[in-house]
Amino acid sequence: MSTASRVMDLPEERAWKLPSRGRVGMLSLIIGESALFTIFVVAYIFYIGKSLTGPTPAQVLEVPILGTICLLSSSFTIWRSEHAIEHGRMRAFAGWLAATILLGLIFMAGTAIEWHKLIVHDGLTIRTNLFGTTFYSLVGLHATHVVLGLSMLSVVLVLALLDRFPASQSERFAVIALYWHFVDVVWVVVFTVVYVIGR
């Protein structure tokens, strides 16, 4: 290395900036969670068509178009609300956040209706056959993550409405938003595997 560049390297001469620990932590968690989902997805794919008895996916599954649209657009609304809090527009922040939660709730309602139909009408439970086992596990695992994300967002919303979530917390909110985006991306994979490939 030349002398000039070594002088540049001296710590005094350069601002010392490190990535935010919240983001690094959340990204690490996301990597770990991805491995968890990967195992469930692999199991799902491996067991496609291996059930010994019915019902089969083709007979009972309907593509959850509305829920999917809602969940995916919630990535947009939460991005808007991130943007708002960064610029200190707290009303807009709360508004977009509420929209995000609403969209998430519609998604969950869709899942509830779907499961009700499958269990009561089609008689498909987790013990019926391999399809039931893998379907409820994978979709359920994802739904658990949605519920977790919704809980975090709701806490933030309540705090924001009470004026307890100042704009200075935008970094924290960005970390939660990162998680929410991850939950969305996972749904794209689950949707593809369960409703496109597996049906």
Partner 1 sequence: MSNLQSDLPMPIQGTLESEKARRSRSTALLEWLQGWLVTVDHKRLGILYILYSIFFLLVAGAEAIFIRIQLAIPNNHFLTAEVYNRFFTMHGTTMVFLVGMPILFGFANYVVPLQIGARDMAFPRLNALSFWLTAFGGMLLYFSFLGGGLYGAGNAPDVGWFAYAPLTARTFSPGNATDYWALALIVSGFGTLGTAVNIIATIFSMRCRGMTLMRMPLFTWLYLVVSGLTLVTITPLTAAQFMLLIDRYLGGHFFDTQAGGSALVWVHFFWIFGHPEVYVLVLPAFAIANEIIPVFSRKAIFGYPAMVAASVGIMFVSLGVWAHHMFTVGMTSVTNAFFVLSTMLVGIPTGIKIFNWIATIWGGRVRFQTPMLFCLGFLYQFLIAGLTGIMLSVAPMDWQLHNSYFVIAHFHYVLVGAIVFCIFAGLYYWYPKATGRMMSERLGKWHFWLFVIGFHITFDTMHFLGILGMPRSIYTYQPDRGWNTLNLIVSVGGFIQGIAVLIFAYNFIVSYFKGDVAGDDPWDAWTLEWTTSSPPPVYNFAEEPEVRSRRPLWDLKHPYDTDWEYEG
**Site residues for partner 1 per CB under 8 A:** 1, 10-11, 16, 18-22, 24-25, 28-29, 31-40, 43, 46-47, 50-52, 126-127, 129-130, 133-134, 137, 141
Distances (CA, A) of 38 to 9, 41, 139, 148: 42, 5, 13, 19
Q: Which is nearer to partner 1, 20 or 59 (CB)?
A: 20
Nearest-approach distance from CB 90 to partner 1, in angstroms: 27
Q: Which is nearer to partner 1, 11 or 168 (CB)?
A: 11
Q: Which is nearer to partner 1, 57 or 95 (CB)?
A: 57
CB 62 within 8 A of CB 73: no
What is the Cα–Cα distance from 136 to 128, expressed in whole angstroms? 11
Nearest-approach distance from CB 192 to partner 1, in angstroms: 19
Q: What is the CA radius of gyration of the chain?
A: 22
Q: Which is nearer to partner 1, 1 or 120 (CB)?
A: 1
What is the Cα–Cα distance from 199 to 131, expressed in whole angstroms? 11
| Helix ranges, 15-129 (H) | 21-46, 57-60, 65-86, 90-116
Nearest-approach distance from CB 129 to partner 1, in angstroms: 7
CB 102 within 8 A of CB 147: no
Q: Which is nearer to partner 1, 103 or 175 (CB)?
A: 175
Q: CA torsion angle for 37, 42, 44, 46 (degrees, to 10)?
A: -170
* 59 CB neighbour count, 10 Å cutoff: 11
Residue reference for tokens 């997805």: 41
Q: Which is nearer to partner 1, 121 or 127 (CB)?
A: 127
Nearest-approach distance from CB 181 to partner 1, in angstroms: 18
Nearest-approach distance from CB 79 to partner 1, in angstroms: 24
Nearest-approach distance from CB 80 to partner 1, in angstroms: 27
